[in-house]
Amino acid sequence: MVHNLSQQNSIFNNFLAEIRDEMIQRDSLRFRRNMERIAEIMGYELSKKLKYSSKEITTSLGQANMNTVDSQIVLATILRAGLPMHQGLLNYFDKADSAFVSAYRKHTSGDEFDVFVEYCAAPTIDQKVLVISDPMLATGTSMVMVYKALLKNGNPKQIHIVSAIATQEALGMIKKHFPENTEVWVGAIDEELTAQAYIVPGLGDAGDLAFGDKL
């Protein structure tokens, strides 16, 4: 199931517009904060899909029955571009465990490239709710490889993928390689993907915009 948050008007669209705006995105601090806020809103939305139970809470004046989250959550992100979104999710799911995976493209010739995963630091994800964040889903290849790397630590009960901008090609890749109950939360779905696998109009390189140009 794909949830496209920009299909409904909300303040979310302002944050999405700002990460796309080439003038505003020159401010890396604001870019990171907007990515964080986008993830916070997505975290709130996906929290509606989690398991809850009633608990009795003691106040200074009596007892209150409250429904609180029971799901055990692992927040995973793809280094380095995913860090601001990871922080946004962690702001809401503050009791969640965290997982970090490095994935990068290495161009071989022309428009051809391979994706490599070289580092994975993760707790057990077995029978837990796995939330993977990555700001851009271009081809979906990196997301699939990260998922396969995380599976070495168990089989999750439920998977949520959180991304600011995706393409139909990436969503097709996820549908092919992820379990049927996977839910995808995106800010927008852009139609064009260049031969070099860049999303158009997209926003550029999210990692560079958040943390500076790399060599």
Q: Smallest Cα–Cα separation from 93: which of 153, 49, 137?
A: 49
Q: How far apart are CA 106 and CA 114, in angstroms?
A: 5
Q: How far apart are CA 27 and CA 104, in angstroms?
A: 24
Are β-strands 112-121 and 136-137 bridged in parallel, bridged antiparallel, or unpaired? unpaired
pLDDT digit string, tens, across residues 69-80: 999 999 999 988
- Return the pLDDT at 107: 58
Check if the beta carbon of residue 42 is closer than 8 Å to that of residue 86: no
Q: How far apart are CA 53 and CA 40, in angstroms?
A: 22
- Return the pLDDT at 76: 97
- Return the pLDDT at 109: 61
- Return the pLDDT at 106: 67
- Return the pLDDT at 62: 97
pLDDT digit string, tens, across residues 46-101: 999 999 999 999 999 999 999 999 999 999 999 889 999 999 999 999 999 999 99
**How large is the angle between the packed helices 28-47 and 83-92, nearest 10 degrees?**
40
Cis status, amide bond into 123, omega within 30 of 0: no
What is the reported pTM? 0.91
Burial of residue 211 (number of CB atoms within 10 Å: 0-12, 13-18, 19+): middle
Burial 95-114 (b: 16+ CB within 10 A, else e): ebebbbbebbeeeeeeeebe
- Return the pLDDT at 172: 95
Q: Per-residue pLDDT for the chain (215 aa), expressed as one digit of tens each?
A: 999 999 999 999 999 999 999 999 999 999 999 999 999 999 999 999 999 999 999 999 999 999 999 999 999 999 889 999 999 999 999 999 999 999 876 656 655 657 788 889 999 999 999 999 999 999 998 899 999 999 999 999 999 999 999 999 999 999 999 999 999 999 999 988 887 778 999 999 999 999 998 87
Please report where in the chains the tokens 């969640």 appear, as a residue. Answer: 96
- Return the pLDDT at 112: 60
Domains recognised in the chain with CATH numbers: 2-51+69-207 (3.40.50.2020)
Q: How many C-beta atoms surround the C-beta of residue 88 within 10 A?
A: 25
